[in-house]
Amino acid sequence: MKFEGHLNNKLPNIGNSVFSVMTILANQHNAINLAQGFPDFDCSDELKKLVNVAIQNGHNQYAPMPGLMSLREKIAEKTENLYSAKYNPETEITIVPGATAGIYTAIQALIKENDEVIIIEPAYDSYIPAVELAGGKAIVYEMLFPEYKINWEQLKKLFTVRTKLIIINTPHNPSGAILSAEDMRKLEKLINGTDALVMSDEVYEHIIFDGFEHQSVARYPQLAQRSIIVSSFGKTYHTTGWKMGYLLAPENITAQIRKVYQFLSFAANTPIQHAYSAILNKPSYYLELSHFYQQKRDLFRAGLKNSSFKLLECSGSYFQSVVYDKLSDKGDFEMAQTLISEHKVASIPVSAFYKRKTDHHVLRFCFAKKEETLNKALDILCKL
């Protein structure tokens, strides 16, 4: 069956997500999937029981549009405890069905035709399509390689009177880099006197290593008053398939976001909101997460230390990027396909995170996996 008439193509240069492509290939070749960013281990039994309790107790109808109040109150309490920032749960916190949906909603609400949005690359692949669907223009800045650092003086040159938003991501996907307090002060200085807002993608906020502290924009009052923070329950509680996140933003910004959100989803899953609300009474779940993932990072890095791959720095997230130029001169997409088809290990080519498909011969591996899974992959990768 095929429609023979004319179809508008709002994203003519966009195909299937690279994550979907690599996961399909991994399944076809029965490869170890270190590509897509999801754990191969389960969430806690306690959290599953809390969802079941909510279902059995009849919490199966619509939640309030902005989210369950008890959950928003717990998020407000957590945010104040961690970052000394106060958000009003009634007017400044919105529960959304996944961080990606939150990003999309905020961009649709705040960006109109011909507005410019600065996107720092490599960048999560949903940012640019969301900007373009809103009629905006994505202005890309490529971080310095291989450190994945930002030269703020260079980035400043991209600002114009049409710049309405800059998107930052820390801890960073795909590189594992983090923004420092000095970076935040430079960002604060950069946008001072402009109309630009900040979207801060902080979905890996609780996965940060080596004693570093997460530098949320919430820590910086002048930034916070013009920022939208995007966070994720899925990354924190090993429940990526539950698709639940939240947005923090000042009241006047939140009001605009909610105008759009009510027509995108209206509300997020009710029993799961009840479960997260209950589990937030136990801060150990997120306070111990960095240690949990640092063990996995250290295992993976130690396993590749004497391999042909060059390890890049990883200070946060659950991704390790590597340079493979000692192994091959193939482009990274072809190299990723070869790893899957010939060696049965799946990764993500980092050029997919660039608008211009910039290729530094870098692959991204996800180490949010069981130790057994990581050791099997390491055994293969070290023999290349």
CB 165 within 8 A of CB 201: no
Distances (CA, A) of 207 to 42, 114, 373: 17, 36, 20
Q: Which residues contact 330 (CB under 8 A, 6 or more apart)?
A: 338
For residue 64, the 8-state DSSP code is P
- pLDDT for residue 380: 97
Neighbours of 173 (CB within 10 A): 25
pLDDT, one tens digit for every residue, the chain (384 residues): 888 888 888 888 887 788 888 889 999 999 999 998 999 999 999 999 999 999 999 999 999 999 999 999 999 999 999 999 999 999 999 999 999 999 999 999 999 999 999 999 999 999 999 999 999 999 999 999 999 999 999 999 999 999 999 999 999 999 999 999 999 999 999 999 999 999 999 999 999 999 999 999 999 999 999 999 999 999 999 999 999 999 999 999 999 999 999 999 999 999 999 999 999 999 999 999 999 999 999 999 999 999 999 999 999 999 999 999 999 999 999 999 999 999 999 999 999 999 999 999 999 999 999 999 999 999 999 999
- Output the pLDDT for position 16: 79
Which candidate, 96, 349, 35, 44, places its Cα nearest to that of 232?
Answer: 96
3-state SS of 292-342 is: HHHHHHHHHHHHHCCCCCEECCCCECCEEEEECCCCCCCCHHHHHHHHHHH
- Measured in Å, how far apart are the chain's first and last C-alpha atoms? 46
For residue range 206-228, list pLDDT tens digits in order.
Answer: 999 999 999 999 999 999 999 99
Entry pTM: 0.96
Cα torsion angle, 187, 78, 169, 134, sign? negative
Residue 12's SS3 state is coil
Q: Supply the CATH classification number for the domain 18-43+287-381.
A: 3.90.1150.10
215 close to 178: Cβ distance less than 8 angstroms? yes
pLDDT in the model for residue 20: 84
d(CA 240, CA 35): 14
How far is CA 208 from each of CA 6, 198, 284, 297, rounded to the nearest angstrom? 49, 21, 15, 11
In the prediction, which pLDDT does 322 show? Answer: 98
pLDDT on residue 175 = 97
The token pair at 307 is 């391999």
- Give the separation between CA 211 and CA 209, rounded to whole angstroms: 6
Residues 287, 208: Cα–Cα separation, whole Å: 11
What contacts 231, CB < 8 A, 6 or more positions away? Answer: 99, 202, 203, 205, 245, 246, 247, 248
Distance in angstroms (rounded) separating the CA atoms of residues 332 and 350? 7
SS3 205: coil
Tokens of 170: 């820390």
Cα separation of 38 and 216, whole Å?
A: 23
Who contacts 192 (Cβ-Cβ below 8 Å, separation ≥6)?
222
Give SS3 for 228.
Answer: strand
CA–CA dist 215, 180 (Å, integer): 6
- Tell me the sheet residues that pair with 348: 364
The pair of structure tokens assigned to 288 is 């111990």
Q: Over the stretch 265-294, which tens digit does the pLDDT of each residue have?
A: 999 999 999 999 999 999 999 999 999 999
Q: Where are the domains of the chain?
A: 18-43+287-381, 62-282
CATH of 62-282, one of 3.60.20.10, 3.40.50.2000, 3.30.1330.10, 3.40.640.10: 3.40.640.10
